[in-house]
Amino acid sequence: MIRAAIIQFDIRRGELERNLGIVKRRIASLATKGVQFVLLPEMWSTGFANEHLKELSETTPRVLDDLSGIANKLHLTIIGSLPEKRGDGVFNAAYVVDSDGSIAGVYRKVHLFSPTGEDRYFKQGRKAVVSKTSLGPIGLMICYDLRFPELCRSLALGGAKIVAVMAEWPAERVAHWEVLLKARAIENQLFVLGANRCGADDDLVYAGHSRIISPYGEVMARAGKRPATLLATIDLRAVERTRKQIPCLEERVPEAYG
């Protein structure tokens, strides 16, 4: 059994100390609740302060040091997306900080959302990542990735029993968010955790509506549009039960799909 939490909050663009402070306080409040896994939203430390990305990305090593200390002290696995400076560019990168404080995996966002110019500010990741953690294999996706079923399927085939989705998904497309989270869980017969931000940047309002979804498509925990902390107990045996009952993955016919 895994006691999982999602922290949904209003990320302030460029305000690292304020965002980090909220996360630290919210994680500390979970210490007595038996939580083993905490999922944070996309770009949770800085938001999309695109004009200052390179400068802000230089704060990420310090943020990771803080998370590593917290993870080790509280025996938590913490996952969230941060700006990562590599060479002359910046990636939108999901870091997996395991319960001993080590970095168990890094996923760099593959699908950049061109309508808001992500492809102008970020470098593109090139591979799917299933991170081997103390809790088991966890697949990683970031926001726009959710619209690409091929990516989530590759994570399932790569051994993931949980897929963590970090997002800054807008309120005007909240119906898509909810349907796609369920679809990815049902079609791949695994747990999907979707951590979305709430609040607004100027005129752009974010949906919130974070979710924890079972392999059957059951919504185990849900948030509305305000800051919230979601909790649910995940039984990984449900993945095998679901796949045994309806053997979709075993009965795939890849040669028929072109």
* pLDDT tens string 89-134: 999 999 999 999 999 999 999 999 999 889 999 999 999 999 999 9
CATH architecture of 2-256: 4-Layer Sandwich (3.60)
Look up 42 and say whether it is catalytic: yes
Catalytic residue among 42, 84, 168, 178: 42
Catalytic residue among 143, 152, 161, 198: 143
Tokens coding 8? 């949904």
Tens digits of residue pLDDT in 131-141: 999 999 999 99
CA distance 212 to 195: 9
CA distance 56 to 45: 9
Catalytic residue among 85, 109, 123, 182: 109
Look up 143 and say whether it is catalytic: yes
List the end-to-end C-alpha distance of the chain, in Å, as a whole number: 39
Look up 85 and say whether it is catalytic: no
Q: 183 in the Ramachandran plot: left (φ > 0), alpha (ψ -120 to 50) or beta?
A: alpha
**Side-chain half-sphere of 176: how many Cα atoms within 13 Å?**
12
Tens digits of residue pLDDT in 175-206: 999 999 999 999 999 999 999 999 999 889 99
pLDDT at 47: 96
Structure-token match 């993945």, residue found? 239
Name which of 115, 109, 93 is nearest 172 in CA terms.
115
